[in-house]
Amino acid sequence: MISCNDDDNSNTNLGQTEADVIEYIEANNLDAERTSLGTYYVIEEQGEGKTPTSDAYVVIDYKGYFLDGEVFDMSNSEGVSFDLLNVIPGFADGIVNFNEGGKGTILIPSNLAYGDSGISGVIPGGAVLVFDVEVLTITNPQSEDDIIEYLELNSLEAERSNTGLYYIIEEEGTGDPITETSTVTVAYTGYFLDGTEFDSSSENGVQFNLQNVIPGFQEGITHFKEGGKGTLLLPPNLGYGSEGSSNIPRNTVLIFDIVVKSLD
């Protein structure tokens, strides 16, 4: 969450505690709430969008500073994407109190930030951190309910398999049935529910042995024959699950527009 700073704070310990947070709040006449962990937050605007869960991905426009007003880090107006599982505890604990579009301030005691060690050259040990934040976007873990909502919003009719895979057959295709051990060539575009594309093939497609692909893609292709065309909507457990991958966030619904070029 922080950028480098030329000042050397490596041997400094401010020794600040929750009492310093309370003193700062009183001195600045802030209307702050305290979480059960001990994070303090001030809501300037609640926001009208969704509320983040503790394991959400969020994009935040923020400025981070110490109690004396010295800024140690800030984003540009486009914000920075964060995985709330991978930030300091107080930051995540504060952000979950805002809705998408919300604005305000988070005050984090040092034990919920970088503790007595701090970060050499950037954050002194024992430092209270203050963040002015605006929550730009929130992506919570997705589920089958999100697929159903997507289908309704886009007036799409899909079939559901026993595993929870949804598929739309535009053209079934002709030829021999495809099994879960088949080798096929498939042209595809993969994207998220918000339309962001994460992968695609050329028009000629890519050859796959279906034993070596994610479960939802493996199963989905078997609903088509050679020449078949349609869409697969995979709940997270049939995609990359709770781990995700290098370009797939965890617990994310995946959509594939596919054309089965050949059964090889």
Q: Which amino acid is at 177?
A: P
Residue of 24, 41, 57, 72 marked active site: 72
Asked if 197 and 158 sit in the same domain, the reply is yes
Q: Is 167 an active-site residue? A: no
**Domain boundary pick from 114, 139, 164:** 139
Nearest to 73 by CA among 167, 1, 152: 1
Q: Is 217 an active-site residue? A: no
* DSSP letter string, 200-222: E--TT-EEEEGGGS-HHHHHHHT
**CATH number of the domain that 184 lies in?**
3.10.50.40
Asked if 23 and 135 sit in the same domain, the reply is yes
Number of domains comprising the chain: 2
Asked if 93 and 205 sit in the same domain, the reply is no
214 vs 237: CA distance, rounded Å: 10
Asked if 233 and 152 sit in the same domain, the reply is yes
**Domain boundary pick from 115, 139, 163:** 139
Sign of CA dihedral 99, 100, 106, 110: positive
Assess whether pLDDT exceeds 90 at residue 221: yes
Residue of 40, 57, 98, 114 marked active site: 114
Residue range 5-45, pLDDT digits in tens:
344 444 579 999 999 999 999 999 999 999 999 999 999 99
User: 3-state class of 83 per DSSP?
Assistant: strand
The CA-CA-CA angle for residues 27, 28, 33, to 5°, reads 100
Query: How does 116-149 read in b/e, with b if 16+ C-beta sit within 10 Å?
Result: eebbeebbbbbbbbbbbbbbbbbbbbbebebbee
Residue 150 belongs to some domain of the structure: yes
Residue range 91-132, pLDDT digits in tens:
999 999 999 999 999 999 999 999 999 998 899 999 999 999
Asked if 152 and 109 sit in the same domain, the reply is no
Strand-pair partners of 189: 200, 257
Residue of 40, 41, 57, 62 marked active site: 62
58 vs 230: CA distance, rounded Å: 32
Q: Is 188 an active-site residue? A: no
Asked if 132 and 207 sit in the same domain, the reply is no
Res 121: pLDDT: 87
Model confidence band, residue 1 (pLDDT cutoffs 50, 70, 90): low
In which element (H, E) is residue 148 found?
helix 144-153
Assess whether pLDDT exceeds 70 at residue 3: no
Domain span at residue 207 reads 144-263
In which element (H, E) is residue 260 found?
strand 254-263
Residue range 190-199, pLDDT digits in tens:
999 999 999 9
Q: Is 98 an active-site residue? A: no
76 vs 194: CA distance, rounded Å: 23
Residue 246, Ramachandran bin (φ over 0: left; ψ between -120 and 50: alpha; else beta): alpha
Asked if 40 and 126 sit in the same domain, the reply is yes
Residue 259 belongs to some domain of the structure: yes
| Contact between 203 and 220 (Cβ < 8 Å) | no
Residue of 24, 91, 131, 217 marked active site: 131
In order of 55, 235, 238, 254, the CA distances from 251 in angstroms are 10, 8, 10, 10
Does the model's pTM come out above 0.85?
A: no
Nearest to 192 by CA among 160, 155, 159, 234: 234
Asked if 90 and 188 sit in the same domain, the reply is no
Q: Is 72 an active-site residue? A: yes
Assess whether pLDDT exceeds 70 at residue 165: yes
Residue of 88, 148, 168, 214 marked active site: 88
Mean pLDDT to the nearest integer, 217-239? 97
